[in-house]
Amino acid sequence: MAGLGYIVLGLLSGAVTGFVTLAPGVLVEAVAGLALIPAFSGAIVAAFERVETREAAAVTFLASASGLALLGISGAFWGLIAGGAVMVVRGWR
């Protein structure tokens, strides 16, 4: 039954693709953003679950989301560096 479903979805994929190209780009981006909400909330819950690493997770998230770019390197890298630094400092205490 699943194979039959995959065949039907495969045959209809051309029509769906044509329909999506007719939609405004903002609508497609909004639907994609809404589809990512469960993944984002799951990642946030997992990151802030352990009390010992909660501060490092917060610093990593805030530095990454800030859009900070130094020396041509994006904020995601600097977020990891900042979160790692918080982990090291917290480990010394």
Q: Per-domain residue ranges for the chain?
A: 1-35, 51-93
* CA gap 76, 69 in Å, rounded: 9
What's the rounded mean pLDDT across residues 5-22? 88
Residue with tokens 């589809």: 35
In terms of Cα–Cα distance, which of 82, 91, 88 is closest to 59? 82
What's the rounded mean pLDDT across residues 34-60? 89
User: Kind and range of the H or E element at 79?
Assistant: helix 75-92
pTM of the model: 0.61
Residues 6+ apart with CB under 8 A from 53: 47, 87
Going by pLDDT thresholds of 50, 70 and 90, the confidence category of residue 93 is low
What's the rounded mean pLDDT across residues 17-31? 88
